Amino acid sequence: MQGYFNHMAAAGSGHENWSSRSAFILAAVGSAVGLGNLVRFPAEAGTNGGGAFVLFYIFCVVLIGLPVLLSEILIGRHGQAAAPSSFRKMAQESGGSKAWGMVASLGVFSAFLILSFYCVLGGWVLYYIGLFAADVLATGPTTGAFAGQSFEQVDSYFGAMVSDGLATGLLDVVFLGITVFFVARGVTGGIEKVAVYLMPAFFFLLVGITIYGMFGGALGQTVDYLFTFEPSKLTGEVMLAAVGQAFFSLSLGVAGMVTYGAYVGRDVNLASTSGIIAGADTAVALIAGLCIFPIVFVAGLEPSGGLGLMFQTLPHAFSDIPFGTLIGLAFFIMVAFAALTSSVSLMEAPTSWAMERLGLTRVSAAVSVTVAAGVLGVLSALSTGALSSFHPLGFIPMFEGLGILDALDTFTGKLTMPIGALLTAVFIGWVASRRLLDDENGLSGGLHHFWLFLVRWFCPLVLTLILFGGVFPKTTAQIFAAFN
Ligand code: PHE
């Protein structure tokens, strides 16, 4: 115990804080806004009944995501240390067991696993930047993308990429390299800088491309598609998909927001700041829908689900519009910016843990995390090509037929993230001392009690349902069928 506190003091001596509240907001929004908003949200909305999914998603962000987001930032801010120590500190001050630190250790581990495959996807985005850049150079900026090439040819780029382990492995390493470049420079010198420059550039590109797409004429169809609420489409599956997406998009359950919270000053009001972060993340997801679907509809295409929407449907759609090649290039650069500010936060959680726990300097901690994530990442990159028939956890039903990348995605998305978020809500709702929460959360009166109610009862209940639904999809489907 004594050793543990000494250790924290040693780590604390090098403790940095964000240089301002807005720097923190940009970094946290940078963490939240990523492939989840640009790839997953539109694809999930597309396959899950459009408006029913979108409206339920907003409900989930407000009533489930936001209370947990506030909890995570609060634990970090109170602890001012790496995530597991922050949990332990609050647990001990509240008379609870220091085993609660394990919740954050699990989170740090999930952040590491997600980092390993997130950077593979980041590498894919770099590959497409290369494809569009080469196309702009070849045909000039005014034509549609891939002018003169057949539909099949444009389609084949994706298959060619994912089966090319050398290219995707290398680009994964490049994306990790860019990430570690910023993480190694520290909170104010790197993590904050990348957010402060890239987030405004990201918003500018997003709004610009969205406005351009609106002139195509499919705005009405898009609005119908995204916002028409048909109650019959709100099935149990759609609800589970929406909650899962809300948690992923707000970067919850992986200790990332606890880690960022540790650099927040005492004077910051956490409730209003969490509200801004969740609001900005949700706005970006909705604008991403308004950006992508008009372009897809104008080209007369059906929006596909999964990764196909971004890497196959959109390139076809860009080939149909004037300046499509240039807009496509700008689009993928924008996606890369968003992915980078997320991968930085995924790397920071294990890095700050390694600094504190293993006593490493920031540079060695970040580099060690990078090397480990690189090894796992290259295996993930190969899992869509040379290693595609290797199914590491295939003997467990929920991982049947999944390659390394998909298995990591499923393991974190369906197991460790919901478990982390569930235990965080239970910890705040049932273990943390009321006085301490009252001092920290920036809420008063009815809102304070409403938040406590949500983290005590509502969030744990819903998160248990998601966990059950993810682990036992067949049983869940049968239960839903019985109700329909
Ligand atoms: N929220 C990020 C996105 O939407 C992903 C992420 C998850 C980042 C967890 C950090 C932690 O892409």
State the closest ligand 1 atom to the C-alpha of 253, by its place in the atom list counted from 1: 9
CA angle 211, 215, 219 (to 5 degrees): 85
Tens of pLDDT, residues 54-79:
999 999 999 999 999 999 999 999 99
- CA angle at 251 for the pair 343 and 395, rounded to the nearest 5°: 85
Q: Are 178 and 340 in contact (CB under 8 A)?
A: yes
- Residues 439-484 pLDDT 10s: 899 898 899 999 999 999 999 999 999 899 888 888 888 887 887 6
In a domain, 3, yes or no: no
pLDDT at 236: 84
Residue 342 inside a domain? The answer is yes
- Rounded distance from Cα 33 to ligand 1 centre (Å): 7
358 Cα: distance to centroid of ligand 1 (angstroms): 26
CA of 480 to the centre of ligand 1 (A): 29
Whether pTM > 0.85 for this model: the answer is yes
Centre of ligand 1 from the C-alpha of residue 122, in Å = 12
Q: Over 70: is that where the pLDDT of 4 sits? A: no
Ligand 1 pocket check for 412: Cβ under 6 Å:
no
Residue closest by Cα to atom 10 of ligand 1: 251
Q: Which atom number of ligand 1 is nearest to the Cα of residue 256?
A: 11
Residues 313-336 have pLDDT tens digits of 999 999 988 999 999 999 999 999
Choose the residue to mutate in 29, 31, 341 for probing ligand 1, maximizing ligand atoms within 8 Å of C-beta.
31
State the distance from the centre of ligand 1 to the C-alpha of 35, rounded, in angstroms: 7
Secondary structure letter of residue 306 according to DSSP: T
Question: Are 66 and 28 spatial neighbours (Cβ–Cβ below 8 Å)?
Answer: no
- Residue 6 located in a structural domain: no
Q: Is residue 280 part of a domain?
A: yes
Q: In sequence order, which residues have a C-beta less than 8 Å from that of residue 235 and are 6 or more positions away?
A: 49, 480, 484
pLDDT band at 6 (very low <50, low <70, confident <90, very high): very low
Residue 442: other Cβ atoms inside 10 A: 17
Token pair belonging to 250: 């707000």
Identify whether 320 is part of a domain. yes
pLDDT for 354-398, tens place per residue? 999 999 999 999 999 999 999 999 999 999 888 888 898 889 888
CATH code where residue 444 lies:
1.20.1740
The residue whose C-alpha atom lies closest to atom 4 belonging to ligand 1 is 36
Residue 248 Cβ inside 6 Å of ligand 1? The answer reads yes
Q: Which of 412, 417, 296, 410 is nearest to 46 (CA)?
A: 296
Is residue 46 within 8 A of residue 302, CB to CB? The reply is: no
Q: How many domains does the chain have?
A: 1
Cβ contacts of 414 within 8 Å, gap of 6 or more: 244, 398, 467, 470, 471
Question: Is 299 within a domain?
Answer: yes
Its domain, for residue 194, covers: 27-483
Give the span between the Cα atoms of 46 and 295, in whole angstroms. 14
Mutate to test the pocket of ligand 1, among 29, 117, 342, 345 (most ligand atoms within 8 A of CB): 342
Amino acid occupying residue 63: L
Query: How far away, in angstroms, is 145 Cα from ligand 1 center?
Result: 29
Query: Atom 11, ligand 1: which residue's CA is nearest?
Result: 251
Asked if residue 3 has pLDDT above 50, the reply is no
- Ligand 1 atom nearest the C-alpha of 338 is 12
